Homo-oligomer: A and B are copies of this chain.
């Protein structure tokens, strides 16, 4: 008898093991054996599902995210800000204007009223920035020792204003842009949690991106795919794109914007900045010819002022839509040597969001 398989922390890391759990177990049981090519399951690979209700012509984006971040309060934000921004961003990167939010609280017995109040204040403030309305809620309390302070689920509904932005809509020649410095959130959480004292404080980049994204899309820039980089950083985003589209994406490491403090933190601990979580950065794949306009528009927005072009889609596999022979990300290192930019794996940092 082989030992019973169990869930590991790495299954929640947002990298390889998470994909394996989702594709190997969750999808299989939820959608049965005929999973590949199934529209329902495919939509789960996007940041939000695109749905239609009744006879209405409107397309609606629908997404969900649970937040288990530890610690609950950190420099640059808290779980309240994070749970609004995270869901706002998941809708925004599908070209959907965020409209409605639900709030599911799981609170541990003994949790402080004051902390709960402060988290609610953050939620109200962050929601007001985008104008998303909290319209549904649920509160559960579990005994001491059966949770860790508070876990928050937010689900969001948005109206799709810009169509056909999809992980499957990457094309050869698309230019890859990142909207700002990478790895700030991951470094901020990790340095706080591990008690690492940095010379310079690192602050989470946690932010709601609809305003910035809308400003780009409304200029008419043709965006193929867009995603907010969270768990697993831009490495997770780029590898998912490469695999979903069967594409080879080329990234110039020297072009990736990274703050010096984050670089120092990564050197100290042996991390790659591009594998660390962001919570207020978007990655764009824009059709060639649109990159300058996209970059200029991004740079004129406070949340995009450090945006950079970091690479392009070198080629796309010919084995058909959604297939992934050789989908990979090539990283031209700062010393000129090419290597593969791996999708993060292992328990890089549990409970980052």
Contacts and interface: CB of A to CB of B under 8 A. Distances in A.
A120 B140 CA distance: 22
Contacts of A57: 56
A12 B140 contact: yes
A106 B104 CA distance: 12
- The secondary-structure label for the interface of chain A is mixed
A190 interface: no
Specify which of A117, A120, A155 lies most central, judged by the most chain B CB atoms within 10 Å of its CB: A155
Contact of A113 (B4, B9, B22, B68): B4
Contacts of A145: 145
A350 interface: yes
A107 interface: yes
A63 B136 contact: yes
Interface in A99-120: 99-100, 102-114, 116-117, 120
A4 B124 CA distance: 23
Contacts of A117: 25, 29
B157 A64 contact: no
Q: How many copies of this chain sit in the oligomeric assembly?
A: 2
Contact of A44 (B7, B53, B109, B137): B137
Contacts of A62: 100, 102, 135-136, 157
A6 B58 contact: no
A59 to B, nearest CB: 9
A11 interface: yes
A151 interface: yes
A54 B59 CA distance: 10
Interface of A: 4-13, 18, 21-22, 25-26, 29-32, 40, 43-44, 48-49, 51, 53-58, 60, 62-68, 99-100, 102-114, 116-117, 120-121, 123-124, 133-143, 145-148, 151, 153, 155, 157, 159, 350-351
